[in-house]
Amino acid sequence: MKKAIFLFPFLLLTSFYVYSQDIIELDPLQSMSITGKGPGQDAAINPFVNTKSTVIVENIGENDFSIRIQIEKEVIKEITIKPEETKEINLKKEYQVYFDSKRKTKAKVSFTKQE
């Protein structure tokens, strides 16, 4: 029984380091960074920014928004996510991710560490 008491908190803490999830609200004409440093760093923060990771983005709002994948100021990829659509994007450790929205919407964002 003692082992079970100690095992539960350990499993709970371990799951935090393997998976992270946030819901963010995007205002009209807003841009948010979820990785890196600088202006707009007010959305979900990738806890695995220093390693390869996967971001899973689900549009739970009523309007489209887009994601920009960048290295420094160089745009690598732009992806549009429609309402009720989910995208899974593999990220290298140097990738920065930005959310851009022309209209108000919401997104569920989760991260997993790649092995």
User: What is the per-residue pLDDT across 10-63, written as a single tens digit (0 to 9) for each?
Assistant: 444 444 444 455 788 878 876 766 654 445 445 567 788 889 999 999 999 999
pLDDT of residue 26: 78
Q: Quick check: pTM over 0.75?
A: no
More confident residue, 33 or 94: 94
Question: Can you give the pLDDT at residue 102?
Answer: 92
Higher-confidence residue: 89 or 72? 89
Backbone angles phi, psi at 91, to 5 degrees: -120, 135
What phi and psi, each to the nearest 5 degrees, are found at residue 96?
-115, 140
